[in-house]
């Protein structure tokens, strides 16, 4: 009986503790904004990204852009960093943080592109709902 | 074949022919765009209302709005409309469309009320003089109307100047035997994550269409309500749709729309308001 109670208590502890560990990654990357909205007559957005990261341990980290071969910026041993980047966005890409020359994504953030127009005119026709909002 | 039907079909045929002729003079094709999914699915949740101009009726609440559409190479289904692309040119797209008339929607939310006055034509209501005995209240419920299946053509145009639609539809279900032609224009302005799209439109509805839905037919006239026939005429509408894109799939949506009924419809004893006003505010998710 004691073993069963100990087992249940241990399971409960693990269930409660694991999300706490999972919620605290070794490196956290935050990027603003995350969405480029493209409408008729435009093929890209010129965006100014505010990029910040914070690690639990001091180390060498590089910020990468999945659409470019070279890192955006690398930091000498540091525990956090920030950079502003102006960039033209035409398609979805990922900002990711990793070790210099490494391929492992310690943390990543996706920047999305939403096209609100369509090459197919039928998709732009006004539907005849009782109330058309979409 | 009756002559109004023949004439309408001729007009629709001429429209299709004119669109085909225009196709030859169209500009060269635009560059290819990325492929899109066949399906477009979305849901909006929030709160909205649409007023109901019908007497003894309730406002139409809008809490959920579904967007279900499928687009093939030629055929498409767009929230109840079945279509076929006859021509798709850089300058315009011509579609043949079968749809359900929307005037019927107003006749779904009606009540029976006991009334002790007479409805007269031209929107005038008269109570009996105080010296006459008060008549017994009589039950009155707005008459029933059926859905009509309509078939017609629409031509879609767009450019830097905005988007426009010309359309013409005729009843093919033998419900009202009338027709409707109309034109719409809207312009969407997008800045960052915010977009705003004002729109205006005008439509002409035939006497038969208007009279079927909004007239008081001979068999429906009583001591409560007199026979009334509605003419064909022009109505117009204007609207404003705004969106704030929170993510690629989620957006906050706010819309308002005002529709002015044709005079002859507005004067029907079945009609209490000469307009339809709607609004919706909520969040929309596109899958």
Which chain B positions have a beta carbon within 8 Å of A115's beta carbon?
A: 34
Short-list B283, B276, B236, CA closest to B256: B276
Q: CA A37, A38, A42, A48: dihedral to nearest 10 degrees?
A: 30
Each residue's pLDDT tens digit, B94-147: 999 999 998 888 887 665 554 434 444 444 444 445 555 555 666 677 889 999
pTM tops 0.80: no
Q: Inspect the interface and report whether the beta carbons of B190 and A116 lie closer than 8 Å.
A: yes
Cα–Cα distance, A52 to A107 (Å, whole number): 11
CA nearest B100 in A: which residue? A128
Q: Which of B34, B77, B80, B163 to mutate to test the interface with A (most CBs of A within 10 A)?
A: B163
Q: Are strands B275-286 and B233-245 parallel, antiparallel or unpaired?
A: unpaired
**What per-residue confidence (pLDDT) applies to A2?**
56
Scan residues 39-78 of B and list those with Cβ closer than 8 Å to A.
40, 42, 44, 48, 50, 60, 62, 65, 67, 69, 71, 76, 78
Per-residue pLDDT of chain A (134 residues; tens, 9 = 90+): 555 555 555 555 555 555 544 556 789 999 999 999 999 888 899 999 999 999 999 999 999 999 999 999 999 999 999 999 999 999 999 999 999 999 999 999 999 999 999 989 999 887 655 556 66
Which chain B positions have a beta carbon within 8 Å of A134's beta carbon?
A: 42, 44, 65, 67, 253, 284, 286
Extended strands (E) in chain B: 39-50, 60-71, 75-78, 81-88, 93-100, 113-115, 118-119, 125-126, 138-140, 149-159, 162-171, 179-186, 189-191, 194-205, 233-245, 250-260, 275-286
How large is the ipTM?
0.77
Each residue's pLDDT tens digit, A70-92: 999 999 999 999 999 999 999 99
Q: Inspect the interface and report whether the beta carbons of B36 and A123 lie closer than 8 Å.
A: yes
Would the pLDDT of B245 be above 80? Answer: yes
Which chain B positions have a beta carbon within 8 Å of A91's beta carbon?
A: none
Would the pLDDT of B68 be above 80? Answer: yes
Q: Inspect the interface and report whether the beta carbons of A37 and B193 lie closer than 8 Å.
A: yes
Scan residues 17-46 of A and list those with Cβ closer than 8 Å to B.
33-35, 37, 39-41
Q: Does A70 touch chain B (CB under 8 A)?
A: no
The H or E element containing residue A5 is helix A2-22
Q: Inspect the interface and report whether the beta carbons of A124 and B248 lie closer than 8 Å.
A: no
Q: Inspect the interface and report whether the beta carbons of B284 and A112 lie closer than 8 Å.
A: no
Q: Which segments of chain B does DSSP mark as H helices, in order?
A: 3-24, 207-214, 263-266
- Residue B247 DSSP one-character state: S
Cα–Cα distance, B119 to B63 (Å, whole number): 34
Q: Inspect the interface and report whether the beta carbons of A120 and B71 lie closer than 8 Å.
A: yes
Give the long-range contacts of residues B257-264, CB within 8 A, separation 24 or more.
Answer: B257/A131, B257/A132, B259/B235, B260/B235, B260/B236, B261/B53, B261/B235, B262/B205, B262/B210, B262/B231, B262/B232, B262/B233, B262/B234, B262/B235, B263/B233, B264/B210, B264/B230, B264/B231, B264/B232, B264/B233
Which chain B positions have a beta carbon within 8 Å of A132's beta carbon?
A: 65, 255, 257
Domains (ranges, CATH) in chain B? Answer: 38-286 (2.40.160.40)
Q: Cβ(A112)–Cβ(A94) under 8 Å?
A: no
Cα–Cα distance, B109 to B144 (Å, whole number): 11
Give me the DSSP letters along B110-153: B--EEE-SEE-STT-EEPPPTTSPPPPPEEE-PPP----EEEEE
Cα–Cα distance, A77 to A60 (Å, whole number): 5
- CB atoms near residue A130 (< 10 Å): 15
Q: Are strands A107-115 and A35-38 parallel, antiparallel or unpaired?
A: parallel
Q: Cβ(B116)–Cβ(B136) under 8 Å?
A: yes
């Amino acid at each position: 009986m004691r073993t069963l109670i100990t087992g249940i208590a241990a399971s409960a502890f693990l269930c409660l503790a694991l999300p706490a560990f999972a919620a605290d990654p070794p490196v956290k990357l935050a990027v603003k904004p995350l969405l480029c909205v493209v409408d008729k007559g435009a093929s890209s957005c010129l965006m100014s990204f505010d990029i910040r990261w914070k690690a639990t341990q001091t180390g060498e980290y590089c910020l990468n852009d999945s659409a470019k071969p070279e890192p955006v910026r690398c930091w000498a041993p540091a525990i956090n960093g920030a950079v502003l980047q102006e960039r033209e966005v035409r398609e979805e890409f990922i900002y990711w943080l990793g070790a210099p020359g490494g391929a492992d994504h310690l943390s990543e953030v996706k920047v999305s592109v939403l096209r609100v127009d369509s090459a197919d005119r039928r998709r732009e026709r006004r539907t005849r709902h009782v109330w058309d909002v979409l | 074949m009756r002559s109004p039907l023949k004439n309408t079909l001729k007009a629709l045929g001429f429209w299709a022919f004119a669109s085909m002729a225009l196709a030859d003079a169209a500009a060269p094709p635009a560059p290819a765009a990325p492929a899109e999914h066949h399906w477009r699915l979305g849901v909006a949740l929030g709160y909205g209302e649409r007023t109901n101009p019908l007497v003894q009726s309730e406002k139409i609440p809008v809490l959920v709005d579904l967007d279900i559409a499928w687009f093939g190479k030629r055929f498409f289904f767009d929230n109840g409309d079945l279509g076929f692309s006859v021509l798709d040119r850089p300058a315009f797209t011509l579609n043949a469309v079968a749809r359900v008339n929307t005037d019927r929607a107003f006749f779904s939310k009606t009540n029976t009320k006991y009334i002790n006055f007479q409805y007269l034509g031209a929107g005038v209501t008269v109570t009996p003089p105080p010296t006459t005995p008060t008549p017994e209240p009589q039950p009155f419920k707005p008459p029933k109307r059926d859905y009509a299946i309509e078939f017609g053509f629409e031509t879609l145009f767009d450019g830097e100047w905005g988007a426009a639609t010309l359309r013409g539809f005729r009843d093919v279900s033998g419900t009202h035997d009338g027709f409707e032609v109309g034109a719409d224009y809207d312009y969407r302005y997008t800045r960052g994550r915010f977009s705003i799209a004002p729109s205006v439109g005008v439509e002409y509805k035939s006497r038969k269409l208007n009279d079927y839905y909004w007239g008081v037919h001979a068999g429906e006239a009583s001591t409560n309500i007199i026979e009334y026939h509605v003419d064909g005429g022009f109505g117009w509408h204007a609207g404003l749709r705004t969106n704030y894109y929170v993510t690629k799939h989620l957006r906050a949506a706010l819309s308002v729309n005002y529709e002015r009924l044709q005079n002859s419809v507005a004067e029907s004893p079945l009609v209490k308001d000469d307009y339809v006003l709607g609004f919706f505010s909520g969040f929309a998710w596109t899958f």
